[in-house]
Structure 1
């Protein structure tokens, strides 16, 4: 294409893909883009092509991980970067770089990574780590051999059956949050801070069977993460606190395995097959970061979509559609990604959508665009809870990096939306939902607040 607008493209409506994204999906589904720092990359926009990138091993995250663990990509990441392991054209943004488009303080670790940052400076308080070092997010960016081993291990406990076994506990966690909302009285409440961000951290406590003495640390981390975006320094401090909680939990579970996820991993494996203590710490951190904000913003976006479509809200409220179907359509229509998820690098020359990508090319996928691809979904721009089905979206990824926590996330969202509407059947927005202000960090966009009247 002759022109190459800066990516991510300007988005005027929160749940409507940018015009430029729609145009490219129709006219040039695999095309070059320019990032704010001047680097170039490739963007994939159609559902089938996006699935190919997610499942074809020639599109690798290993180079992304190498840059993150090395301390991030070189300099401002402009074209022609020559640091070892950097993709063709340089990395899309260096740590603390001043290239336009980077969040305040620079990119968290310099590498946009799937499901969370590729790495971030560690603040004080993280055992064994000091300022300027990098987090190892383990499985999310692991090399294929390590990723496969780690995934097989986690898959023994993160199963759909395990998620269903937690449904009662998840429901109780939701009810505790709703009890707090009920105490607010007749005044409007903010469903973003008072509900969407409250439920996931309570569920994480249940998932890890977190001891009471460690729960304040997790709550503190959660509050820091929400307040920190998009500052890298504040994010690093928050992650340092989380690593501290994770290490204490792992040490406790290694000494006496409990009933939580980490205890089950330890108890269910022979010592030779057991992940190392550091890998277990990284597992806690990865699952916490992937399971906290991503679920919170999906709650927030889903509630806003329901408020903007009162006919669909009524169908969910009166049981015309199931909570399971509603959640799948919310996951498709009201996605929270900013466009920097799913970054990969080609390991060899690849032809995709009729376009030849060179070895070492940086490739972005648009899950938003894939979810609105009329070649895959009928009436893709219509919010219709009745058609909700997992096949309509790739929100949880596909292939080797398919989200292992997807079953638990679904249970959480189903229980959350269902119990909220049963507890407060007269729930209505306190202001025009079309005028809600959005905010964003590197990976998510969501309503800054969402005021509602409960009764």
Structure 2
């Protein structure tokens, strides 16, 4: 058994060296000790990861009675707000996805393109106002963009968005257990009140639509399901896009040839930049935990009943059995879009079209407006844990 935290001098800063060592040890699934999840079965192979995403024997529903002996779920997993697609199995997952898919459509997302461009331009106007030539890209641009977009999508009043931003940060990358607990205890009542307001006075936003949507049989989302879904859209729709934008810029700085190529053709290469960033340095390296309902074979490796499984997309997306020269960052890579950063199969992220749209618009416009963009010092500290991949600050100048 490997101890994942000790496989490199700083695993959070460089997990890929650790993944390479795990591959050398043999097999696409390895039992490891992680710094924050304990003993887990880590899926690092691309095909094994697709197999794990599709397996009905790996469960995301922590409320079932087969919890791993001696293991207590994190505080957040027992909170109101976990009755969502991420934390459920079929047929419940299938039902929720069907109801949400009726309203969170590709057409709705595409209609947001113009507004995403407006928000992007407004933020860059503010960032470059009065001849400013430097900024923290995360604070000035990468973080507020998806927060404004997701709040407008859900119909969150403007005055409440600062609170939303704080809650999102503390639930996904908490500064302390106390801060995480406080954030959960504040956001859930707020979402309940917001849903009540949408029920009384619906608008054109997605949350209003979800409050009132029903399938052909009259099935509707319950109050708890609505709160859980709104929470999922908030945290999944914000932090992941922040880190996609930040990671893309960091990767361009680290690969001058690729930066030169994107500078020369930001409109033509923005899509490729987003997809290669998602493959090479994705914002969500690993899934949240799954539990084996029974003895389960994944990638030819037997995971015992009760075993905790993490699908490591960051490792799978650099699997040399799937990608040629996988440790090379190449914005023109033709098969980058086959990455697993958004999951796979029935677990493929419903918000992927919006994330791609925001990333492409943001990065294209940034490089068009600031063609001389370059680092202005070292990036800030890494986000804690292995669930998110990104830095808290990214100083730039232009």
Flag whether TM exceeds 0.5 (same fold).
Answer: yes
Which of the two has greater helix per residue? Answer: 2
> What is the alpha-carbon root mean square deviation over aligned residues?
2.6
The structure, 1 or 2, with the larger RCO (C-alpha pairs under 8 Å, 6+ apart) is 2
Change (3 A) 1:364 1:14: closer
2:42 paired residue number: 43
Contact 1:328 1:388 in 2 (8 A): no
> Secondary structure of 2:158's match?
helix
Contact 2:285 2:313 in 1 (8 A): no
Contact 1:29 1:45 in 2 (8 A): yes
Offset, 1:137: 4.6
- Pick from 221, 241, 253 the counterpart of residue 307 of structure 1: 253
Offset, 1:264: 2.2
Distance in structure 2 (CA, Å) of the matches to 1:368 and 1:422? 29
Contact 2:288 2:310 in 1 (8 A): yes
Offset, 1:200: 0.9
Equivalences for residues 49-448 of structure 1 within 5 A? 49-62=48-61, 65-66=62-63, 84-87=65-68, 90-91=70-71, 94=72, 107-109=74-76, 118-119=77-78, 134-183=80-129, 185-210=131-156, 214-226=157-169, 229-269=174-214, 272-319=218-265, 321-337=268-284, 339=286, 341-387=287-333, 389=335, 391-431=337-377, 435-442=378-385, 443-448=387-392
TM-score (norm 2): 0.90
Contact 1:159 1:407 in 2 (8 A): no
1:112 paired residue number: none
Residues 232-241 or 7-16, more deviating: 7-16
Distance in structure 2 (CA, Å) of the matches to 1:160 and 1:11? 43
The CA deviation string for residues 19-46 of structure 1, in whole angstroms up to 9 with x for no partner, is: 3321222423222112458953211110
> Secondary structure of 2:40's match?
strand
Change (3 A) 1:11 1:342: farther
Distance in structure 1 (CA, Å) of the matches to 2:270 and 2:106? 17
Unaligned 5+ runs, structure 1: 68-83, 96-106, 110-117, 120-132
> Secondary structure of 1:348's match?
coil
Contact 1:25 1:369 in 2 (8 A): no
1:452 paired residue number: 396
TM-score (norm 1): 0.79
Unaligned 5+ runs, structure 2: none
Distance in structure 2 (CA, Å) of the matches to 1:392 and 1:288? 25
Distance in structure 2 (CA, Å) of the matches to 1:408 and 1:54? 22
Distance in structure 2 (CA, Å) of the matches to 1:259 and 1:286? 20
Offset, 1:371: 0.7
Distance in structure 2 (CA, Å) of the matches to 1:60 and 1:229? 25
Offset, 1:389: 4.3
Q: How many residues align?
A: 392
The CA deviation string for residues 253-302 of structure 1, in whole angstroms up to 9 with x for no partner, is: 21232111122234443693221222212211110011111111221111
